[in-house]
Structure 1
Amino acid sequence: MELFTQQKVQRYEEFVEPDLQRAIDEQDKVFEQQKIFADLRRNIENLEKNSVTSLRTLVNLASEVYLQAEVPNTQHIFVDVGLEFHVEFTWSEALNYIQKREETIAKQIDEYNQSIASIKAQIKLVLEGIRELLQLPAEKSLPERNF
């Protein structure tokens, strides 16, 4: 009977696991966006703090091929606002935009956390239902799966 139970549990996990993995993957993408905007905010704040008006930098052209570039005026920057569109902002406009995007990203992360918790709760509920249907004694705890 134990083998039968394990097979049932494994089939259910295989059924639900793609949803859970998809939610975790999407959450990871949002975390990456959060990091990008936090880095951009820090860079702009450093430019303001140090009163940088021009700079030399390396630009990644593609496939890790870099070109040295000189930026004669750093007062305006271009920010990727999505779908490969870039908008020219002053530093203060960019910081305002970044703040709004960070708030939106934080909400998205909360939504993914709730979704992931819900899927995990469904898994536990069904596992408990299987245990009851098969009239098995309550297990101490199942090892938590890390995705």
Structure 2
Amino acid sequence: MPAPNRALVTEPAAQLLRRLADQHGALMFHQSGGCCDGSSPMCYPAGDFMVGDRDVLLAVLDVGDGVPVWISGPQFDAWKHTQLVIDVVPGRGGGFSLEAPEGMRFLSRGRAFTDEENRALEAIAPITGADYERGARPPANGTHVVADAADACPVPLRST
């Protein structure tokens, strides 16, 4: 089994990213673990957020020229068994993410990887900020865009 993508983006979020890229140029995400906006994915112009040597690259979303998705090393240790799905909803977040003036906010959804997916991911070393500086990139393994969050994170049916 090929390793699954560690991060995906919904088509509505990808559409917003394309508009933001037209306005701001190349983009990047950092999955926040901060206080004010909880654990929202924060979207910045590429290079406006300093990626640390121990931050981990989850994926480069195949939107526009490619949008890297970063997470801090300690937060990755807690989330490494979870596929991050970046979605968008109406509203305003409390951070400095680029979508705020659009009246939208990015949010993270997640799906736990299966045991088989976890085994496949264990065979691939995570790419850190230091690795990225040396030219390491994640393997290309299909699109990162899903039509809807439910396609990647199905909502369990409630029994009545």
Asked whether the two chains share a fold, i.e. TM above 0.5, the reply is no
Hey, which of these two has a bigger chunk of strand by percent? 2
Between structure 1 and structure 2, the one with the greater Rg is 1
State TM-score, norm by structure 1.
0.25
Higher helix content, 1 or 2: 1
Scaled by the length of structure 2, the TM-score of the pair is: 0.23
